[in-house]
Structure 1
Amino acid sequence: MDRIIIAEDIKSLHQGLETVLSKFNVDKTEFVQYCDDAYLQIKNAESRGEPYDLLITDLSFAKDHREVKLVSGEDLIKKLLEDKISIKILIFSIEDRRDKIKKFFNFLNIDAFVCKGRNDQKDLEKAIKALQKNEKYYSKSLGDLFENTQEHELTTYDIQILELLEAGNHQSEISKHFKEHNISPSSTSSVEKRINNLKNFFKAKNTTNLVAKAKDLGII
């Protein structure tokens, strides 16, 4: 990987990242503190025919005086996917909720996840070596993310329903949204059935409890 961009708002972490990257043959390393800046630089580099090979990004970015459109690393990744920009993605974060991290691999198609912590520099080295071989990587402190696969694996459709429920939409409104966006199945009965399946899966008493449990797990 010749060109790497890092989105990290805590400057004190930049040196540690530089130390790790200095062990690899990296031609260009760019640090930015805002996701908006990372997106613009990646987009501009793509337009010039000099694309970045890897994005290393945190998930959480502190708010300050500046107004931004992309407030988190997740927003940045979703925007890159939306624009169909090809770039390897490594998330470097204190996040340790397995279900949320699993969602990043399954639905945001990230390439690596490294937990911030005492041994994170060694972990970052392992991650970059894995990416150089086109392998996926995540911190071993997370255990086996994909063991004990549940009978009901969450799908993109499930995530959309949960997000729409969180936004306060009722079943009929979710059905209407799906029809408008050509998402299938879109009937109210299909949406109701899926919500009931999700309630059973999460052992939720009602829709409010379902949304709360999904949020606690970091799924939405």
Structure 2
Amino acid sequence: MRTLVVEDEGDLRFAVVAALRNDGLAVDGVSDLPAADEALFVTRYDCVVFDRMLPSGDAVAYVQRLRQAGRTVPVLFLTARDTVADRVAGFAGGGDDYLVKPFAMPELVARVHSLCRRAEVVRAPVHQVADLEIDTARRQVRRRGVLLVLTRKEFAVLELLATRLDQAVPRGELIERCWDEMAEPNSNVVEVLVSQLRRKLGDPLVIRTVRGVGYQLASTGSGG
């Protein structure tokens, strides 16, 4: 899942981005609304975290314009403005959540995860693929009932493949959704991670390589 953080305070932006990345999300960080506009134009995000009052304008007005244009990406506002009227204005402007500064970082991370899950309306809480069980709520994976230890990035890739069962997910989409702007598109990060994931999942292989496209989680073991 991929998140955009729009915050003009450099130290806070760095801290929020680091916390979300440490919890397994792919995260991009920008400092103003023009940069957010560019990021949202080129990338599909599962959630956007906006500092409400930015030097480039009020993020609530910006989000209102997004909603009017039909953009439904979940939005969380960060703000020092804590009156009921301010919170109501944030929700009325198209915000999905509202967190007052100063805040506890674990709470922010939990709220962002909740909003990211909301981005996939039809996402099932548990994906059952033959003897493989992927529990998206608990972020746990079992095979033949045995709990597997996956890294956050491995889980993110497996979860995305599970939401598109038996469909080929392009390599570029895997990078876009599971990594962030720090990833080098021409590197072999996807291939290395899929190889590690296959070893942990064991036989029969359930992740197929679709030549010239990307990877597919198959409902019947067919690897390769």
**Going by fraction, where is strand more abundant, 1 or 2?**
2
**Going by fraction, where is helix more abundant, 1 or 2?**
1
TM-score by length of 2: 0.48
TM-score by length of 1: 0.49
Higher relative contact order (CA 8 A, sep 6+): 2
